[in-house]
Homo-oligomer: A and B are copies of this chain.
């Protein structure tokens, strides 16, 4: 159980000692948001939260904890939908998700709510640098979270922060097997990696990270926010 101030890279390096595989250059380490947020102290004590009138009204209408609604609203830059007791919002960094990514389970321990990292790219970079220092391996790091999505039921693990890997594989301009040029094909490989990791980071399994080997990715120093669809191309604002 991770506490604020814990050194995740050191804990991961130590955990890896119990596996058969050493980290190598080109490996990928997927880390779930929950442990990142806990290590970064992204906790809010609900007892310290004074709900706004809007949070109180909304909570009363949908039978929610007004303090938790207030915590969500404070992480929100835009409400996308607030029908039927579901708050789909845009968070400060631009991710669109339910409840601003504030956890309703596991993460939420009695009187505490857990928020998303302030900057999950920075979280990934810190873990990457720590693993490099401790193991000598130059790995990529992907911070993942469990999001819902429109039209499809069920949750999947997606990427919210990266270090060292291009979250997109841009195949535009390449040719398909028939020799036709691809015009629209950009694959969100970081989300597909997160999904693969989600199969193993099962809730309550206590597995907060997954070691990936053999996937050839594009090295990249940038941000996972390229995964956020720009407003002008977003038909579901």
Contacts and interface: CB of A to CB of B under 8 A. Distances in A.
Given A183-B105, A193-B199, A188 B155 contact: yes
B191 A156 contact: yes
Contact of A228 (B152, B182, B236): B152
B96 A151 contact: yes
A199 B186 contact: no
> What is the oligomeric copy number?
2
B150 A188 contact: no
A195 B190 CA distance: 10
Interface in A91-115: 95-96, 104-106, 108-109
Which secondary structure dominates where chain A touches chain B?
A: loop
Contact of A180 (B96, B106, B182, B185): B106
Interface stretch (A45-53, A69-77, A80-88, A124-132): A80-88
B151 A158 contact: no
A164 B45 CA distance: 45
A26 interface: no
